[in-house]
């Protein structure tokens, strides 16, 4: 008797949670296609006007593209630096892990506004005048995703017992770099893909740092959305939904890619 | 001349000395076991041979070459880990071929060696399976085949059976010993299980606190433990203080501080039967005793008895006529003084 009852509670809870999470999204979606929505529960009429207007605005696609390549460059840079670094620290220099653990929580400890003001002051004059440029933003993005990349890569390495795999490979005659490429990388790849994906989503949604660092100079999708909210709620909803769908498609594609690689790895 | 020789190996981690100048010489084709409790340094010693841990001092000779400064991949040493450490992204066959590939062997040779070795460990039909679809015992056999594929000069086994369950463990250890003998592979086997050590080894080195405390054939190690540590570690030995030994055996037991008595070396006799002591070896002693408890170990019955106030463990063959505790549990114990072993002081 207790089991069906527990199932019922469970289901209700899940349903409430889904409603809580999806209702704002559904409302935004409806609002983006509504002609009139004032005093009724559901909109009185539908229109594609907002979506059309959005796509007519060249700045929208520009902003989307700017965001996309800035995030992609930042994540790629982070991957290129962090993958070898975390590997070396986890496998050969475990003593440094305490230091790294301290380092990766710093982005959480410093509020975005404080970090932005600090960065602007540090780079607005002197030898490196980067204020308002994409370089400064990429640098800041690198720091923002540091915790995700570090934890993700480190956990993957520990899950596959990288040290033992490496020892085995070396005893069988592989050089360190060859061992890394043949037995470590293929096994941690699925985990690394997930971290990359997560980092990308985080950056794509980041607003505070982006707006403060490059808001006046570079139109990213976040900054663009912020500008248009004041003009029309309908238009802003249409942009938000498109932005959301874009991330959804991107995530699904990357997930599929990750699964496919998993399949190759024979799991 | 020894095939593999360790000289004065020392290693400290922080302030803790893990290896205190270990010397060990191994002949070609011999299987030597490093036996000891966890933390005795046996695995560290194995890793020193493999090159995975650098010793602070000492040298490792393989043949007449000092390999202590060489990286693992140039040592021609194979190793099997407790956790198998198979490559999950490769099939069983590719795992076995891996070392040959790294050494630049041709495709033909790789395939031939792979098939030979999978046949040796009896896993031909699993060639295209992935390691995670194999049982623990099968995975460990693949690991064995993988390390043998490159024809190492020495094979190192680091607790290879400890992650397996009892039945498979017994089976696989006989299989490992069989393969080792067949191909004459010089092998160092690390374990904390004395039964395992006794069944597979040509020679056992008992380790404690970073040193080898006793070295000898399984028979020697079992029958003549030199120190109290070895006696206690090798199983159910009764370790007696000088006073306890004197109470059981009288005077003339020598000058040692502690003694060891094997549980099967004393005989239990029914109480009150005056003649039953006859026929015992001259110089044998009969002591009154009381049975405290009996446990059945299968072919052996293990009695906890108290003889002259000294608690002893006595084993008796389970011949279908168990000696039950009587109303008082009173029995008599026939002791043979020649079976009493004098133990040296620790560290002597």
> What confidence tens digit (pLDDT) does each residue in B81-108 have?
999 999 999 999 999 999 999 999 899 9
Greater pLDDT, B77 or A37: B77
Whether A168 and B71 lie within 8 Å, measured CB to CB: no
- Contact assignment for A266 to B88 by CB distance below 8 Å: yes
User: Half-sphere exposure of B97 toward its Cβ, with a 13 Å CA cutoff?
Assistant: 20
Model confidence pLDDT, tens digit, residues A188-235: 988 888 888 889 888 988 888 888 888 878 888 888 888 887 787 888
Q: How confident is the model at residue B253 (pLDDT cuts 50, 70, 90)?
A: confident
Instruction: Return the residue in B72, B145, B163 with the most chain A beta carbons within 10 A, the one to mutate for interface testing.
Output: B72
Q: Which residues contact A127 (CB under 8 A, 6 or more apart)?
A: none
Range with the poorest average pLDDT among B4-8, B164-168, B185-189: B164-168
Question: Helix, strand, or coil here: A155?
Answer: helix
CB-based contact, A41 to chain B, within 8 Å: no
Question: Under an 8 A CB cutoff, do B89 and A173 touch?
Answer: no
Given CB atoms, is B205 within the 8 Å cutoff of chain A?
no
pLDDT over 60 (residue B73): yes
Whether pLDDT at B58 is above 50: yes
Chain B residues whose beta carbon lies within 8 Å of the beta carbon of residue A266: 88-89, 91, 130, 132
At residue A120, does pLDDT exceed 90? no
Proportion of chain A above pLDDT 70, given as a percent: 94
Which segment, A56-60, A111-115, B19-23, is predicted with the most confidence on average?
B19-23
Return the residue of A nearest to B144 by Cα: A168
Q: What is the pLDDT of residue B272?
A: 63
Question: What is the C-alpha separation between B239 and B53, in angstroms, rounded?
Answer: 37
* Residue range A140-167, pLDDT digits in tens: 999 999 999 999 999 999 999 999 999 9
- Categorize the per-residue pLDDT at A265 as very low, low, confident or very high, splitting at 50, 70 and 90: very low
Strands B330-335 and B285-296: antiparallel
Closest chain B residue to the Cα of A162, Cα to Cα:
B85
- The shortest C-alpha distance from A161 to chain B (Å) reads 8
* The length of chain B, given as a count of residues: 348
Range with lowest mean pLDDT among A79-88, B59-68, B289-298: B289-298
* B132/chain A closest Cα distance in angstroms: 8
Contacts of B147 in chain A (CB under 8 A): 171-172
pLDDT of the residue at B282: 52
Contacts of A186 in chain B (CB under 8 A): 89
Which percentage of chain B shows pLDDT scores above 90? 63
Of the two residues B273 and A12, the one the predictor is more confident about is A12
Mean pLDDT, rounded, of chain B? 89
Predicted ipTM beyond 0.95 = no
CA pair distance A31, A46, nearest whole angstrom? 9
Which pLDDT belongs to residue A232?
A: 79
Over residues B33-39, mean pLDDT: 93
Q: Which among B85, B89, B132 is the nearest to A168, CB-wise?
A: B85
Helices (DSSP H) in B162-216: which residue ranges? 166-183, 194-200
Q: Which residue has the tokens 């989503």?
A: A201
A36 neighbors A43 (Cβ within 8 angstroms) = yes
Length of chain A measured in residues: 267
**Would the CB atoms of A266 and B130 count as touching at under 8 Å?**
yes
The pLDDT assigned to B10 comes to 95
Window from A120-129, A232-241, B35-44 with minimum mean pLDDT: A120-129
Q: Give, in degrees to the nearest 5, the angle at Cα A51 between A48 and A57.
A: 135
What whole-number distance in Å separates Cα of residue A254 and Cα of residue A119? 32
- Residue with the two structure tokens 């043979």: B336
Q: Sign (positive/negative) of CA torsion B143, B144, B148, B149?
A: negative
Q: Which CATH architecture has domain A46-266?
A: Orthogonal Bundle (1.10)
Which DSSP category does B344 fall into?
B
Residues of chain B in contact with residue A267, where contact means CB-CB under 8 angstroms, are 88, 130, 132
Q: Give yes or no for residue B23 having a pLDDT over 90.
A: yes
Cβ–Cβ below 8 Å for A167 and B89: no
For residue B81, give the nearest of A168, A182, A265 by CB distance.
A168
Domain ranges for chain A, please list them.
46-266
Residues in B closer than 8 angstroms to A180, CB to CB, are none
- Among A40, A39, A43, smallest CA distance to A237 is for A43
pLDDT confidence of residue B348? 45
Contact B99 A167 (CB under 8 A): no
A185 to chain B, minimum CA–CA distance in Å? 10
How many angstroms separate the CA of residue A165 from the nearest CA in chain B? Answer: 5
B15 in contact with A, Cβ within 8 Å: no
How many CB pairs below 8 A link A and B? 75
Please name the helix (run of DSSP H) or strand (run of DSSP E) that holds residue B211, with its range, or none.
Answer: strand B211-216
Tell me what pLDDT residue B328 has.
63
Q: What percent of chain A has pLDDT over 90?
A: 31
A114 vs B7, residue with greater confidence: B7
From A56-60, B159-163, B274-278, the region with the lowest mean pLDDT: B274-278
Quote the pLDDT of residue A106: 86
The model's pTM:
0.80
Residues 33-52 of B with CB under 8 A from A: 50-52
Contact between residue B19 and residue B10 where contact means Cβ atoms under 8 Å apart = yes
Q: Over range B61-70, report the average pLDDT.
A: 93
B197 touches B191 (CB < 8 A): yes
- Tokens 């490429």 correspond to what residue? A181
Q: Are B239 and B258 in contact (CB under 8 A)?
A: yes
Look-up: residue for tokens 């060859």? A178
* B130-149 residues touching A, CB cutoff 8 A: 130, 132, 146-147
> B340: which DSSP letter?
P
State the Cα–Cα distance between residues B310 and B288, nearest whole angstrom: 11
Say if the Cβ atoms of A170 and B90 lie within 8 Å: no
| Backbone torsions φ then ψ of B210, nearest 5 degrees | 80, 10
Mean pLDDT for chain A overall: 85
Among A residues 147-176, those touching chain B with beta carbons less than 8 Å apart: 160-161, 164-165, 167-175
Rounded to the nearest angstrom, the minimum Cα separation between A152 and chain B is: 19
Q: What is the pLDDT of residues A224-263, one digit of tens each?
A: 888 887 787 888 888 888 888 888 888 788 778 767 765 5
Does residue A177 sit at the B interface (CB-CB below 8 Å)? no
Q: What pLDDT was estimated at residue A262?
A: 58
**Please, which contacts does B8-17 make with residues 24 or more away whose CB atoms are closer than 8 Å?**
B8/B57, B8/B58, B8/B59, B9/B45, B9/B48, B9/B55, B9/B57, B9/B58, B9/B60, B10/B55, B10/B56, B10/B57, B10/B58, B11/B41, B11/B44, B11/B48, B11/B53, B11/B55, B11/B56, B11/B210, B12/B56, B17/B210
């Amino acid at each position: 008797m207790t089991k069906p009852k527990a199932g019922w509670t469970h289901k209700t809870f899940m349903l409430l949670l889904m409603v809580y999470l999806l209702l704002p999204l559904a409302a935004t979606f409806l609002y983006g296609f509504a002609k009139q929505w004032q005093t009724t529960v559901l909109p009185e009429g539908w229109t594609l006007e907002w979506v059309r207007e959005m796509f007519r605005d060249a700045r929208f696609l520009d902003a989307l593209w700017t965001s996309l390549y800035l995030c992609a460059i930042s994540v790629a840079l982070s991957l290129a630096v962090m993958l070898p670094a975390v590997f070396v620290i986890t496998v050969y220099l475990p003593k440094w892990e305490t230091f790294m653990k301290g380092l990766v929580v710093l982005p959480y400890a410093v509020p975005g506004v404080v970090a932005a003001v600090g960065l602007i002051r540090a780079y607005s004059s002197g030898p490196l005048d980067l204020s308002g440029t994409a370089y400064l933003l990429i640098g800041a993005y690198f720091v923002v995703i540091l915790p995700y990349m570090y934890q993700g890569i480190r956990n993957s390495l520990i899950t596959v017992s990288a040290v033992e795999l490496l020892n085995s490979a070396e005893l069988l005659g592989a050089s360190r770099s060859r061992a890394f490429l043949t037995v470590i990388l293929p096994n941690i790849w699925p985990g690394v893909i997930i971290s990359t994906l997560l980092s990308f989503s985080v950056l794509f949604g980041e607003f505070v740092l982006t707006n403060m660092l490059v808001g006046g100079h570079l139109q990213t999708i976040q900054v663009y959305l912020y500008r248009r909210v004041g003009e029309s709620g309908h238009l802003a909803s249409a942009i938000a939904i498109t932005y959301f769908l874009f991330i959804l498609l991107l995530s699904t594609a990357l997930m599929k890619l990750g699964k496919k690689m998993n399949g190759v790895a024979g799991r | 001349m020894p095939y593999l020789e360790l000289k004065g190996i020392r290693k400290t981690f922080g302030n803790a000395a893990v290896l205190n100048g270990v010397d060990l010489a191994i002949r070609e084709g011999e299987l030597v076991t490093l036996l000891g409790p966890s933390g005795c340094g046996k695995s560290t010693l194995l890793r020193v041979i493999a090159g995975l841990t650098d010793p602070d001092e000492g040298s490792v000779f393989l043949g007449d070459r000092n390999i202590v400064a060489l990286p693992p991949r140039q040592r021609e040493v194979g190793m099997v880990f407790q956790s198998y450490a198979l490559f999950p992204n490769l099939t069983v066959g590719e795992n076995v071929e891996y070392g040959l590939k790294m050494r630049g062997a041709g495709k033909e040779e790789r395939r031939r060696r792979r098939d030979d070795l999978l046949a040796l460990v009896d896993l031909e039909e699993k060639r295209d399976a992935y390691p995670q679809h194999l049982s623990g015992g099968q995975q460990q056999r693949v690991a064995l085949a993988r390390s043998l594929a490159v024809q190492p000069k020495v094979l190192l086994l680091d607790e290879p059976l400890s992650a397996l369950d009892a039945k498979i463990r017994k089976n696989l250890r006989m299989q490992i010993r069989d393969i080792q003998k067949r191909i004459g592979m010089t092998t160092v086997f690390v374990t904390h299980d004395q039964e395992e050590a006794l069944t597979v080894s040509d020679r056992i080195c008992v380790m404690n606190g970073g040193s080898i405390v006793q070295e000898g054939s399984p028979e020697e190690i079992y029958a003549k433990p030199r120190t109290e540590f070895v006696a206690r570690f090798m199983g159910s030995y009764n370790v007696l203080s000088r006073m306890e030994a004197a109470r059981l055996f009288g005077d003339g037991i020598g000058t040692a501080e502690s003694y060891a008595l094997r549980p099967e070396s004393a005989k239990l006799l029914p109480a009150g039967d005056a003649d039953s002591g006859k026929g015992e070896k001259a110089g044998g002693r009969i002591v009154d005793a009381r049975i405290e408890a009996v446990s059945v170990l299968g072919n052996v019955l293990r009695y906890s008895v108290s003889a002259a106030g000294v608690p002893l463990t006595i084993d008796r063959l389970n011949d279908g006529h168990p000696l039950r505790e009587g109303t008082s549990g009173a029995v008599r114990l026939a002791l043979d003084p020649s079976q009493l072993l004098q133990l040296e002081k620790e560290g002597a």
